[in-house]
Structure 1
Amino acid sequence: MKRIHLFRSVTITLLLALTGLASAAETKPLRALMVTGGCCHDYEQQKKILSEGISARANVAWTILHEGGDTRTHQVSIYAKDDWARGFDVIVHNECFGQVTDVAFVERIAKAHADGVPAVMLHCSTHSYRAAATDEWRKAIGQTSMSHEKNRDLFVKNLKPEHPVMKGFPAEWKNPKDELYKNEKLWPNTVPLAQAYGEDTKKDHVVIWVNQHGKGKVFGTTLGHGNHTMADPVYLDLVTRGLLWSCGKLGDDGKPKPGYGPAKK
């Protein structure tokens, strides 16, 4: 009898394990749209660093829209449609168009996230659309920032090591030669996750956070001016966790939920 019970136990365990593997293999990748381009950054390289780095860590398939040259005033073509985010599970914003002033255009971008499409806000996306006379984009981001301090080494302090997004992030991370964006306002649903001290302003500024904008979950970081920061495994691990969190696919342990780890090749 003991052998029969043992056989059944082993059989059930194997079946559960195989079911889990099959489920992971059958999980469709998250459909991510990366919007990139604009002023002041090496977006040609950054789109590769981000897409390849995140896909090496999570089950994500990419559509990349790179346009606008190095201008500040370009209006990204896909945003002209009311349903511009349809068909995507998450939008990764890594753009720098700070001088766009068309309020209706900017509010259309933000509305997609208020309606429930998750977002990842990276670096200059926080300064994008700052010339527009509306706070809707800033509410979507989770903070208002209009300028940054000089480029220097930043010492990033982990404020919430138990938050799933910050699991595995160092207690303090030295981020060489990056820009510290100044916080002018944190919006009510913003949860600060990490901060760095500003030598010019003589105060701390939130540099990593999460936000709830309407129905949409948002992960944001102002870090990432240079390619060396974006290519750092600490940064790529962080942004991957943030993306998965925004989509509800990050476990409490900071690891991808079943099926959302890196796809098998």
Structure 2
Amino acid sequence: IAFENNVPFITKGLKNWTTQREELYNNIQVLPGTKVVARGTQGNAKAVVAWANEYHGARVFSTSLGHNNVTVADKRYLHFIARGILWATKKEAWPIVQPKEESFTLGSKPTVKKKKIKQ
């Protein structure tokens, strides 16, 4: 994944990386005003894998990445998605909370802590 600085808030602090077992889809037509955020390469094929747009005051962020658990569990992916969501919702001032390394693994299952109800 190669990031472009067309929407600096989304790509701030991100470094290019190679995903594992990810599929690239080149299924978008980049319309005027659309800003390419990231591109991917698979073999000789190149694809736009993330883009952003502003249309009549609304912001849109989209990515075709995230087709397997390895990508979705990657802290870099989560950081990228969080920044895209904050940009799209105009909440750039909000902090980005990173998951603890040990709390998010591919084999982990969610746990629920039950609270005792005082009567």
Tell me, in whole angstroms, the C-alpha distance in 1 between the residues paired with 2:54 and 2:62: 11
Tell me, in whole angstroms, the C-alpha distance in 1 between the residues paired with 2:54 and 2:42: 26
Deviation at 1:164, TM superposition (A): 1.1
Is 1:157 aligned to 2:2, yes or no? yes
Deviation at 1:213, TM superposition (A): 3.1
1:181/1:222 contact within 8 Å kept? yes
Deviations 1:68-118 (A, max 9, x none): xxxxxxxxxxxxxxxxxxxxxxxxxxxxxxxxxxxxxxxxxxxxxxxxxxx
TM-score with structure 1 length normalisation?
0.34
Tell me, in whole angstroms, the C-alpha distance in 2 between the residues paired with 1:191 and 1:218: 10
Q: Which residue of 2 aligns with 1:244?
A: 86
1:161/1:169 contact within 8 Å kept? no
1:219/1:242 contact within 8 Å kept? yes
Deviation at 1:196, TM superposition (A): 1.0
Deviations 1:29-82 (A, max 9, x none): xxxxxxxxxxxxxxxxxxxxxxxxxxxxxxxxxxxxxxxxxxxxxxxxxxxxxx
How many residues are matched?
A: 97
Q: State the Cα RMSD in Å.
A: 2.1
Tell me, in whole angstroms, the C-alpha distance in 1 between the residues paired with 2:78 and 2:63: 12
Unmatched tracts of structure 1, length 5 or more: 1-155, 251-256
Q: Relative to 1, partners in 2 of residues 1:242 and 1:228: Cα closer, same or farther, differing over 3 Å?
A: same
| Greater helix proportion | 1
Q: Which residue of 1 aligns with 2:13?
A: 168
TM-score with structure 2 length normalisation?
0.71
Considering only CA atoms, is the larger Rg found in Structure 1 or Structure 2? 1
Q: Percent identity?
A: 32
2:83/2:96 contact within 8 Å kept? no
2:61/2:85 contact within 8 Å kept? yes
